Amino acid sequence: MSRRKPVDPGHSRRAIIRALGLGLPAVAAACTASNPPEPDTSRPGDTGPDSGPDSGRDTGSTADTGSPDTADPRTPDPTSPWDGMGAADTDTFPLGVQTGEPRPDALLAWTWSPKATAITWHIALWDGATWVVQPTQDATAGDDGYVHHDLLGLPADQPVAVQAEIDGVFSAVAWGRTAPAIDSRPEVFLSATSCLDQNHGEYPSLDEVQSLGPIDAMIWLGDTVYADGRSELYQYRALWRSQLGKDSFQRLLHNVPGIWTWDDHEVGNNWNPQTIDQGLLDIAVQAFHETVPLPDTVRSTRKLWRSLRFGQTVELFVLDCRGERNEGAGHYVSPEQLQWLMDGLAASECTWKVVATSVPITDMPVLWDALGAQLDRWDGFPTTQRAELLSHIRQLGLQGVFFVAGDLHQSTVSFVDPEGGDGDNLLEIMAGPGGSFLNPAARVIEGDQFVYKDADWSCARMSFHPGGTATLQVVHEHGGDLMLEMTIDTSGQVVSIEQERHPWDE
């Protein structure tokens, strides 16, 4: 049964305040879009179970939507991996190679080799039948052997294989794909996770999500490491190297480009920009920036927020919900970042505007306010920025705004607000946790504001169709069984729930 708004909003803080007549701002204006399109009830992207360079991408992803809005075909995945220029030496390249920040004409390549000063990059492009080796590119290593290198001038939607070399010694080969052309309308596949405490060991959900089908990029929403209590650069570096060196991380990082943001545990639990020791913050930022593929615009300015386009289907807005807070000024994010986001949402030409926020924007039930926990979230921070953003979306009648979040150690799909709030037609998926302690309270949320509620180790995959539907999948870390498969549309309608499973009941 289709649902667009919750029937029973439950006892959230805002619902209680409204009931008491304490006066939150009313909805500024109804959605101004007239004659919205009929919900697209097809399942986007009927892809096979395999992904990566060993299997073919479904290039005919033209789901029968009952409308002319079919997806443009994608460049096929390679049918075989590139062997590279030589066998991998894991002593010289302990973490292999990562790719990241896919753009229509570029891909960021990353590697680490202790004490390296220069790297030669070997690149191969898939022409539909074979790998075609490109001219090599040279790069200079940064502090302690970390290398970030932009592979520029690449074709759009292009499978790319990369390998690093130092004096005849080679890394493992990594595979990635550039973003689709700006004027194309393809189906786009994104994955997301958060909260990967290193004490969990390996992370089977990182393998299981790859078995669901193609992934254009993985959104790392924060708390990828738990660095609490560390105070020296070598300690942060050692933690990151240990974490990303795990087999489950390596299998994903070698196959899927990464798009990274952070939350608190990359530095320390619930750190505050106004009170943290700046020397400690500098150390933690250095370790984070050097260990994952981040563009130079981020590493040189510390402005983590940015957007990436995937054709006309998805524009991804990556937020920094940790590093620019100022409680005294009432800023959850900097005014500059908030204005950038609101302007970007308004100007976006894309069917879907996906907002990656490390901390959920959903108005959580009062149980989540224990010990002042709400002060760490959008909905409890002493500021009007959340209301300003949601009112902006409502007033402009923006369609296709969708939030992806982490932090709360639960795997849920919720309406951002109870019925009557500015965000009551906006949906948010909370991805993960990949390997941190589970939040059992998520299993007992009451009311239909939360369309799906669970807390199990998992990873999310999202398929966005240009015709206006998206399929949300949540896969459990054991056995690859789907906990959730749900179809939504750009109006905030839950079109259908194909599968809903709760492992704790089994």
| Rg from Cα positions in the chain | 22
- pLDDT, one tens digit per residue, over 314-367 is 999 999 999 999 988 999 999 999 999 999 999 999 999 999 999 999 999 988
Choose between 215 and 380: higher pLDDT: 215
**pLDDT at residue 16, as a whole number:** 41
pLDDT over threshold 50, residue 394: yes
**pLDDT at residue 57, as a whole number:** 60
Q: Which run of H or E residues covers position 394?
A: helix 385-396
**pLDDT at residue 62, as a whole number:** 37
Exposed e or buried b for every residue in 336-349, given b needs 16+ CB within 10 A?
ebbebbbebbeebe
SS3 199: helix
Pairwise CA distance, residues 236 & 169, whole Å: 27
Least confident interval from 39-53, 100-114, 157-171: 39-53
Superfamily grouping for domain 13-30+179-505 = Alkaline phosphatase D (PhoD) (3.60.21.70)
pTM comes to 0.89
Choose between 63 and 219: higher pLDDT: 219
Q: Measured on CA atoms in the order 284, 289, 293, 294, is the torsion positive or negative?
A: positive
pLDDT over threshold 60, residue 60: no
Q: What is the dihedral of CA 439, 444, 449, 450, to 10 degrees?
A: 50
Q: Are 412 and 430 in contact (CB under 8 A)?
A: yes
Report the chain's mean pLDDT, rounded to a whole number: 88
Residue ranges of domains in the chain: 13-30+179-505, 97-177
Choose between 325 and 59: higher pLDDT: 325
| Token pair for 84 | 């590279």
**Could you tell me the fold of the domain covering 97-177?**
Immunoglobulin-like (2.60.40)
The packing angle between helices 278-291 and 233-244, to 10°, is: 30
Burial class for 354, CB neighbours closer than 10 Å (0-12, 13-18, 19+): buried
